[in-house]
């Protein structure tokens, strides 16, 4: 079965603390994974994709096929990182399956 | 470019009424997606179209839901009759077939069924 699991609905940290938003997937094919973010009063938008191996706004995510994970990490959280984060798995040319999302709260 | 446009932004209706949500994708995009967002289930894909043709409607919850894309610049999602459990935020998104899966989302329609 194709599935994306984000075990935490809410993650609260203080500014400057490290952040790790967990994402696990289940997929029999070669996975392509993404992180989307929704800031308050803004549209859901792409944050990063694993294939690009990029760091966006200080966030990185490494695909671990052995653990079927694609955790999103940032060494020092900022208040402006507070948002809803969705992990997504591409299962067809256009089709994405999203996790249930994790709300990140960064306190000053 | 205004991006993906959705209307209305908010809809409050009574149980049993018909609800129609509208979406205008980004010009030139070939694929259009309808999602439903709830606290419990997160973001669920309801249906998507390629070149105006429905490709996968396996996420449509039941026959009360229907979606159409009569042309490349317009799509509707209809719920008839609506029920309180349909209350959610409905998103429309689009991308180009060459978009490497980057989907561009609209602002969403917040639907409340009383």
Torsion (CA) A9, A39, A80, A36 in degrees, nearest 10: 70
Cβ proximity of B71 and B38 under 8 Å: no
Query: What integer is the mean pLDDT of B46-58?
Result: 93
The predicted structure's pLDDT at residue A95: 83
Residue A69 in this model has a pLDDT that exceeds 60:
yes
Q: Is A92 within 8 Å of B50 when comparing Cβ atoms?
A: no
Determine the 3-state secondary structure of B108 from DSSP.
coil
Please give the Cα distance from A60 to A50 (Å, whole number). 9
Name chain B contacts of A97, Cβ cutoff 8 Å. 45
Half-sphere exposure of residue B92: CA atoms within 13 angstroms, side-chain side? 29
Name chain A contacts of B43, Cβ cutoff 8 Å. 44, 86, 98, 100-101
Name chain B contacts of A96, Cβ cutoff 8 Å. 45, 101, 103
The predicted structure's pLDDT at residue B45: 93
Q: How far apart are the first and last CA of chain A?
A: 41
Please give the Cα distance from A12 to A14 (Å, whole number). 7
Comparing A55-59, B13-17, B23-27, B83-87, the range with the smallest average pLDDT is: A55-59
Higher pLDDT, A58 or A29: A58
Q: Of the segments A30-44, A66-80, B99-113, which one has the largest average pLDDT value?
A: A66-80
Distance from CA of A97 to the nearest CA of B (A): 7
Query: What integer is the mean pLDDT of A94-99?
Result: 87
pLDDT tens across A1-27, in order?
Answer: 789 999 999 999 999 999 999 999 999
Best interface-test mutation with A: which of B42, B51, B89, B91 has the largest number of A CBs within 10 A? B42
Determine the 3-state secondary structure of A79 from DSSP.
helix
Query: Rounded to whole angstroms, what are the CA distances from B10 to B14, B84, B107?
Result: 14, 15, 11
Query: Rounded to whole angstroms, what are the CA distances from B100 to A12, A17, A45, B95, B110?
Result: 32, 33, 14, 9, 28
Q: Is B101 within 8 Å of A90 when comparing Cβ atoms?
A: yes
A-side interface with B, Cβ within 8 Å? Answer: 6, 32, 34, 43-46, 49, 51, 86, 90, 92-101
Cβ proximity of A43 and B107 under 8 Å: yes
Query: What integer is the mean pLDDT of A72-86?
Result: 96
The predicted structure's pLDDT at residue B101: 62
Query: What integer is the mean pLDDT of B60-70?
Result: 93
Q: Is B45 within 8 Å of A99 when comparing Cβ atoms?
A: no
Residue A62 in this model has a pLDDT that exceeds 80:
yes
Higher pLDDT, A29 or B80: B80
Percentage of chain B lying above the pLDDT 70 cut: 95
Name chain A contacts of B35, Cβ cutoff 8 Å. 98
What's the token pair of residue A40?
A: 């308050």
What does the mean pLDDT of chain B come to? 92
The predicted structure's pLDDT at residue B99: 55
Q: Are strands B42-50 and B53-56 parallel, antiparallel or unpaired?
A: antiparallel
Residue B100 in this model has a pLDDT that exceeds 80:
no
Query: Rounded to whole angstroms, what are the CA distances from A91 to A52, A95, B22, B78?
Result: 18, 6, 26, 26
What's the token pair of residue B40?
A: 């419990």
Q: Is A46 within 8 Å of B102 when comparing Cβ atoms?
A: yes
């Amino acid at each position: 079965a194709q599935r994306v699991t984000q075990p935490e609905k809410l993650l609260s940290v203080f500014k400057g603390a490290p952040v790790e938003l967990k994402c696990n997937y289940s997929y029999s094919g070669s996975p392509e994974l993404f992180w989307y973010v929704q800031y308050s009063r803004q549209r859901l938008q792409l944050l990063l994709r694993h294939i690009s191996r990029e760091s966006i706004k200080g966030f990185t995510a490494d695909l671990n096929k052995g653990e079927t994970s694609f955790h999103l990490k940032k060494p020092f959280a900022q208040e402006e990182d507070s948002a809803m984060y969705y992990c997504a798995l591409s299962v067809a040319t256009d089709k994405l399956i999203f996790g249930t999302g994790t709300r990140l709260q960064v306190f000053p | 470019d205004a991006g993906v446009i959705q209307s209305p932004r908010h809809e409050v209706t009574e149980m049993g009424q018909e609800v129609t949500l509208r979406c205008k994708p980004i010009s030139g995009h070939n694929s259009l997606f309808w999602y439903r967002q709830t606290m419990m289930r997160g973001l669920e894909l309801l249906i998507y179209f390629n070149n105006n043709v429905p490709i996968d409607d396996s996420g449509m919850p039941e026959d009360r839901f229907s979606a159409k894309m009569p042309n490349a610049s317009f799509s509707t999602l209809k719920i008839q009759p609506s029920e309180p459990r349909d209350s959610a935020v409905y998103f429309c998104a689009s991308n180009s077939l060459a978009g490497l899966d980057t989907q561009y989302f609209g602002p969403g329609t917040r639907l409340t069924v009383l």
